[in-house]
């Protein structure tokens, strides 16, 4: 693999990588949606398709923190319903990723980010309402869409959040179930990135490992400090910055 052999990150890019690592760590311990800012940022640095391979190991490291902290709170019956369908969505995304160029790939990521922002806003409007039935077609549709989104751009968080919101899970069960879901899915995706898309190699993994301290710091801050941040202020900031970043991907 030669795609990273000539990459030398500037100090600003390393700063952005560290910032992305911290935000990813926070997202895995109860700060939903914040990692969506990371997706356009890494696409700016590495390009659309390659950025997904850079991001995946960072997410896997953060998943370990989330599972370690909330490992006893997962609701496995909901995971068993959606995971098989997520594998179907990953398969569809794997095919799409092979037939589009890098600019089209970034456009797909941007569209998915906008879709997820819309889903987050819609979820907030429907908060507390039983707006989805608990049956197979709902799990199937959310699983396929989530699997596609996570393989194409690692942006399935809001989609899976809507699925769990419909199940009316308490906060800790919500976070614990999400943590296990994404750890399982990301482990499944890893060999596909290595062998099929060839977006992960030893050099990319070295870059990812350099972000581990920032991921750990983000996980710590997510547990300790996030409860002090006003929810409305935080969510408004995340939505505005994420939408702006996704828009820039389309330019």
Which stretches in the chain have pLDDT values below 70?
1-7, 30, 32-33, 120, 123-124, 126-134, 226-227, 229-235, 237-239, 241-242, 245-246, 248-251
Between the alpha carbon of residue 135 and those of residues 46, 78, 166, the distances in Å are 40, 11, 11
In this prediction, residue 154 carries a pLDDT of: 83
In this prediction, residue 4 carries a pLDDT of: 46
Residue 59 burial by CB count (10 A; 0-12/13-18/19+): exposed, middle or buried? buried
d(CA 178, CA 166): 14
Contact criterion met (CB below 8 Å) for 190 and 151: no
In this prediction, residue 35 carries a pLDDT of: 74
97 half-sphere exposure, CB direction, 13 A CA radius = 25
In this prediction, residue 152 carries a pLDDT of: 87
In this prediction, residue 2 carries a pLDDT of: 46
């Amino acid at each position: 693999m030669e795609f990273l052999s000539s990459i030398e990150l500037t100090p600003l890019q390393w700063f952005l990588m560290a910032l992305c690592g911290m935000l990813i760590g926070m997202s895995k311990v109860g700060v939903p949606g914040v990692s969506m800012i990371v997706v356009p940022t890494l696409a700016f640095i590495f390009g659309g398709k390659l950025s997904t391979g850079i991001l995946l190991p960072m997410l896997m490291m953060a998943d370990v923190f989330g599972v370690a902290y909330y490992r006893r709170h997962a609701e496995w019956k909901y995971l068993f319903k959606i995971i098989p369908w997520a594998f179907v969505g990953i398969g569809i995304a794997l095919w799409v990723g092979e037939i589009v160029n890098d600019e089209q790939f970034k456009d797909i990521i941007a569209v998915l980010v906008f879709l997820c922002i819309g889903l987050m806003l819609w979820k907030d409007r429907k908060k507390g309402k039983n707006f989805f039935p608990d049956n197979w077609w709902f799990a199937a549709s959310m699983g396929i869409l989530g699997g596609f989104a996570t393989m194409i751009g690692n942006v399935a968080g809001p989609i899976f959040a809507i699925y769990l919101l419909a199940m009316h899970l308490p906060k800790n069960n919500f976070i614990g179930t999400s943590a296990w879901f994404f750890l399982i899915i990301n482990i499944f995706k890893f060999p596909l990135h290595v062998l099929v898309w060839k977006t992960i190699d030893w050099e990319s993994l070295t870059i990812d490992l350099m972000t581990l301290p920032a991921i750990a710091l983000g996980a710590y801050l997510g547990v300790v400090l996030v409860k002090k941040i006003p929810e409305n202020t935080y969510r408004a900031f995340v939505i505005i910055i994420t939408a702006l970043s996704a828009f820039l991907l389309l330019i």
